[in-house]
Amino acid sequence: MTLATETPPVTMAKDAGPSIVRSSSRAVVFDRLVRTVLIACSLVAVLTTIGIVASLLFESLRFFQRIPITDFLFGLQWSPQTALRADQVGSSGAFGAVPLITGTLLISAIALTVAAPLGLLSAVYLAEYASEKARGIIKPLIELLAGIPTVVYGFFAALIVAPMLRGGGDSVGFDISSESALAAGVTMGIMIIPLVSSLSDDVINAVPRSLREASYGLGATQSETIRQVVLPAAIPGIAGSMLLAASRAIGETMIVVMAAGLAANLTANPFEAVTTVTVQIVTLLTGDQEFDSAKTLSAFALGLLLFVITLVLNVIALKIVEHYKEQYD
Amino acid sequence: MADRVQIAAKAAELDTLTSSPASDIIRQGPTKRSKAETRFKLYGLIAIIISLGFLAVMVTSIVVRGTGAFTQSFITLEMEIPADVDPENINATNWRGVMNRSLRAQFPDVKGRSDRRSLTRMLSSTGEFTVRDAVAADPSLIGMTANISVRASSDIDMLIKGNVDLNLPQGQRRVSDQQVAWLEQLRDAGAVETRFNEKFFTGGDSREPEQAGIWGAVVGSFLSLLVCFALSFPLGTMAAVYLEEFAPKGRISQIIEVNINNLAAVPSIVFGLLGLAIFLNFFELPRSTPLVGGMVLALMTLPTIIIASRASLRAVPPSIREAAYGLGASKVQTTFHHVVPLAIPGMLTGSIIGMAQALGETAPLLMIGMVAFIVDIPQGITDAATALPVQIFLWADAPDRGFLEKTSAAIMVLLGFLIIMNLVAIILRKKLEVRW
């Protein structure tokens, strides 16, 4: 690689007759053209980011001209239904995002409670105990969970998980809403199991052998080594992978659209229906829309909020993982 | 520090143990610890079993619910085609009347408006078109009596497939006792049969579950993926070539790299918002079309393709490049004549996996209006269309019991496509990959 970048492209043609010189100067032009095209292509990714930030910011600013940003960030009421006529009750709508954020966090927390132990324990088993052959079969099967489209999970959550939880709740005397945060959260947890397990797998494998061998040498068993040496050493990496999983859960849309509720309840009770940021974006923007109402514009403010939260989580997670990997290199 | 305290505590524990007879430690210690060992291993195994159990439950429940959609019940009736049908203007005839009269003729003792209505409700409301088309295909039927099979309505179809719980009180189910009795009579007359439901694969969406098909959604998805691939493959691979082969290792390429990594983790719905604000509102491209859908999906899959393509470029050994330089090739020649051809299989594999992701994506398509109810099969990338996962979402929301099995069946088709794409990627990798 380093050699390749040091090699000057067109130099040897100078002494070799006029025709080659001409063709090589044409080659220089061609060379520049190709480079420009290639640079343009890689700038598309940058342009996409700029496009996302610009469009979200632009529409959000229009929203914040109508609704003060403090009302949006700290308001406890969310009911974006603006009335058709100005004299109707509640014509202004309420745009407090707090119930949406708590709803999103509640569902994501449930998802992580499901995915973190299952993903981590599977990763430990696969990395430390499973034979090469078993690993070759089990790992792709778990990865399959990640390949299933989220709309399928949403259908599964609404059709099977939610009624099952509701029935289970009824039989022990709990009142579980049919759009409970629990149903959406558990299903989302299943979806992110492979994410947690494959990231944790990488992290566990990055713990140097010497640490394990030192532990065995002191007479520890394999499980003692894992619990007292490998996992503590891998904690930063595991934390990073959990953050990535959390960011994924927060941005997940279809499962919550199909299985979570629409009403913005400010509650921490997992048996009640809550709504999320993504559900509200979808509800606000599907169907007919006028592009100047605060209702439609609020979806972009929510989008901006979502983008910022997930971006911050990702940046922190990637930093942690990178730092952790360097530690053992 | 905490560890050290623990170790000290352990040591103290061991000290007390050594004061007891040595045989005790030998007997107790290892068994206790090996039990802990087995338990820990078991936890891991249980976690895997639970995860895979979820997968199994999900897949089986969908297959069990969905297989019914591949068949459809038909009711064959003896119809009297009126003699005054004009083959040139076939729509002028009241075909619904023809169909309903033939059913009423089977049950002459059914009187009263509401009873008659509940009788004719057993047939699909789209049955009149079946009759019309049958006559249009064979004008010799005009003025004759002909046996024509029409689709049973979705409720009756569910009844025939055994999806209706007849133990429920009549008010709580969609089929009345009367209709059950009529169906028995029709069955005894041999008029009821279940056939392969080709309409499910060839038809567009419909309000009537018995008439609804996925072809429109499949075509919509295909067109979107076509646009997506046409944009993201060249853009992604060229960006990868630049970053891997040409870019000076400096601030700019680092910014692009960080950018791509973060873009890969942006929630898909945000890409939908981008498409709505930029493609639809700013550039005023047509709403609900595969063109815009494909563009949004292309931006979403770009990071996947770039990352996969860079990995496959990196796998090409430097000796190839050096050999090309040694023979006097320029940088561009080396890259495009020697390096890229060797990396193409890996790039294609990555792109197919990216396309598979795009095929399953729903949320961004909702944002750009691909959720409309569309009956017609889209003819081009600028026709209003929906996509397979969006169709699943729409049907999952429909209250009709008949759509439940359609939803599951559509999911089976979607998963089938995904499996095929992934298999193609795996085979391609196995066949074309060069090991250095």
Assign A82 a pLDDT band (cuts: 50, 70, 90). Answer: low
What is d(CA A265, CA A99) in angstroms, rounded to the nearest whole number? 6
The position carrying tokens 């979820």 is B54
Exposed, middle or buried by CB within 10 Å (0-12, 13-18, 19+), for B101? Answer: middle
Exposed, middle or buried by CB within 10 Å (0-12, 13-18, 19+), for A202? Answer: middle
Measured in angstroms, the CA of B376 and the nearest CA of chain A are apart by: 19
Name the residue among A125, A145, A303 with its Cβ closest to that of B47: A125
* Tokens, residue B6: 């623990």
Exposed, middle or buried by CB within 10 Å (0-12, 13-18, 19+), for B18? Answer: exposed
Number of neighbours of residue B232 by Cβ within 10 angstroms: 29
CA–CA distance from A291 to each of A63, A84, A86, B282 (Å)? 11, 15, 18, 12
CB A294 within 8 A of CB A50: no
Exposed, middle or buried by CB within 10 Å (0-12, 13-18, 19+), for B5? Answer: exposed
Name the residue among A45, A122, A147 with its Cβ closest to that of B48: A122
Number of neighbours of residue A235 by Cβ within 10 angstroms: 11
DSSP state string for A190-253: HHHHHHHHHHHHHHHHHS-HHHHHHHHHTT--HHHHIIIIIHHHHHHHHHHHHHHHHHHHHH--
Q: What is the pLDDT of residues B35-89, one digit of tens each?
A: 888 899 999 999 999 999 999 999 999 999 898 889 999 999 888 888 888 888 8
DSSP label of A177: -
DSSP state string for B27-78: HHHHHHHHHHHHHHHHHHHHHHHHHHHHHHHHHHHHHHHHGGGGEEEEEEEE
Neighboring chain A residues of B360 at a CB cutoff of 8 Å: 147-152
The rounded percent of chain A whose pLDDT value lies above 90 is 49
The rounded percent of chain B whose pLDDT value lies above 90 is 44
- Which residue in chain A is spatially nearest to B370 when comparing CA positions? A286
Q: Are strands A94-95 and B71-80 parallel, antiparallel or unpaired?
A: unpaired
A 219-278 residues inside an 8 A Cβ radius of B: 221-224, 226-228, 244, 247-248, 250-254, 257-258, 278
Question: Which value, to the nearest 10 degrees, does the dihedral of the CA atoms of residues B233, B234, B237, B241 take?
Answer: 180
Specify which residues B148 forms β-bridges with.
B77
Are the beta carbons of B238 and A37 separated by less than 8 Å? yes
- Which residue in chain B is spatially nearest to A297 when comparing CA positions? B277
What is d(CA A81, CA B416) in angstroms, rounded to the nearest whole number? 41
Q: Please determine, for residue A208, whether its predicted confidence score (pLDDT) is greater than 60.
A: yes
Of the two residues B15 and B91, the one the predictor is more confident about is B91
Q: What is the pLDDT of residues B366-393, one digit of tens each?
A: 999 888 888 889 998 989 899 999 999 9
Suggest the residue from A5, A108, A152 to mutate for an interface test with chain B (most B CBs closer than 10 A).
A152
Q: Please determine, for residue A177, whether its predicted confidence score (pLDDT) is greater than 60.
A: yes
Q: Are strands B71-80 and B145-151 parallel, antiparallel or unpaired?
A: antiparallel
Assign B20 a pLDDT band (cuts: 50, 70, 90). Answer: low
What is d(CA B305, CA B426) in angstroms, rounded to the nearest whole number? 16
What is d(CA A202, CA A234) in angstroms, rounded to the nearest whole number? 10
Q: What is the ipTM of this complex?
A: 0.87
- Which residue in chain B is spatially nearest to A157 when comparing CA positions? B58
Contacts with A213 (C-beta within 8 Å, 6 or more apart), sequence order: none
* Tokens, residue A228: 């007292």
Are the beta carbons of B266 and A251 separated by less than 8 Å? yes
Q: Whose CA is closest to A103, among A188, A38, A1, A24?
A: A188
Contacts with B433 (C-beta within 8 Å, 6 or more apart), sequence order: B345, B346
Q: Please determine, for residue A150, whether its predicted confidence score (pLDDT) is greater than 80.
A: yes
If you average pLDDT over every residue of chain B, what do you get? 88
Report the pLDDT value the prediction gives residue B8, as an integer from 0 to 100. Answer: 59
Query: Mean pLDDT across the stretch A179-189?
Result: 93
Number of neighbours of residue B40 by Cβ within 10 angstroms: 21
Q: Please determine, for residue A65, whether its predicted confidence score (pLDDT) is greater than 60.
A: yes
Are the beta carbons of A144 and B245 separated by less than 8 Å? no
Least confident range of A156-165, A221-230, A299-308, B134-143? B134-143
What is d(CA B287, CA B61) in angstroms, rounded to the nearest whole number? 35
Name the residue among B271, B389, B396 with its Cβ closest to that of A149: B389
Suggest the residue from A142, A253, A284 to mutate for an interface test with chain B (most B CBs closer than 10 A).
A253
Query: H-helix or E-strand containing B268?
Result: helix B268-274
CB B345 within 8 A of CB B433: yes
HSE of B217, CA atoms in CB hemisphere, 13 A = 30
Query: Which pTM does this prediction carry?
Result: 0.87
Least confident range of A15-24, A186-195, B124-133? A15-24
Report the pLDDT value the prediction gives residue B14, as an integer from 0 to 100. Answer: 58
Assign B28 a pLDDT band (cuts: 50, 70, 90). Answer: low
Query: Mean pLDDT across the stretch B274-279?
Result: 92
* Tokens, residue B267: 């929630």
A 83-112 residues inside an 8 A Cβ radius of B: none
Number of neighbours of residue B222 by Cβ within 10 angstroms: 16
Q: What is the pLDDT of residues A243-258, one digit of tens each?
A: 999 999 999 999 999 9
Specify which residues B79 forms β-bridges with.
B146
Q: What is the pLDDT of residues B226-249, one digit of tens each?
A: 999 999 999 999 999 999 998 888
Are the beta carbons of B268 and A51 separated by less than 8 Å? no
Query: b or e along A157-195 (b: 16 or more beta carbons within 10 Å of the residue's beta carbon)?
Result: bbbbbbeebbeebeeeeeebbebbbbbbbbbbbbbbbbb
DSSP state string for B188-201: HTT-EEEEE-THHH
Alpha-carbon Rg of chain A, whole angstroms?
A: 27
Measured in angstroms, the CA of B340 and the nearest CA of chain A are apart by: 13
What is d(CA B364, CA B371) in angstroms, rounded to the nearest whole number? 11
Are the beta carbons of B389 and A151 separated by less than 8 Å? yes
CB A229 within 8 A of CB A211: yes
Q: Of A22-26, B183-187, B430-434, which has the strongest mean pLDDT?
A: B183-187
Q: What is the pLDDT of residues A280-304, one digit of tens each?
A: 999 888 866 666 678 888 999 999 9
CB B75 within 8 A of CB B147: no
* Tokens, residue B51: 């995860």
What is d(CA A194, CA A153) in angstroms, rounded to the nearest whole number? 14
CB A276 within 8 A of CB A265: no
Residue B191 φ/ψ, nearest 5 degrees: -90, -10
CB A100 within 8 A of CB A302: yes
Q: Whose CA is closest to B324, among A38, A39, A9, A27?
A: A9
Q: Please determine, for residue A9, whether its predicted confidence score (pLDDT) is greater than 50.
A: no
Q: At what angle do helices A132-147 and B22-66 cross, to 10 degrees?
A: 40
Assign B117 a pLDDT band (cuts: 50, 70, 90). Answer: confident
CB B122 within 8 A of CB B153: yes
Q: Whose CA is closest to A99, among A121, A75, A115?
A: A75
What is d(CA B260, CA B236) in angstroms, rounded to the nearest whole number? 11
- Which residue in chain A is spatially nearest to B295 when comparing CA positions? A48
The verdict on A125 touching B (C-beta cutoff 8 Å) is yes
Strand order in the sheet with B71-80: B145-151, B71-80, B192-196
Are the beta carbons of A42 and B361 separated by less than 8 Å? no
Report the pLDDT value the prediction gives residue A5, as an integer from 0 to 100. Answer: 43
Q: Please determine, for residue B6, whether its predicted confidence score (pLDDT) is greater than 70.
A: no
Are the beta carbons of B362 and A251 separated by less than 8 Å? no
Q: At what angle do helices A162-171 and A181-206 cross, to 10 degrees?
A: 110
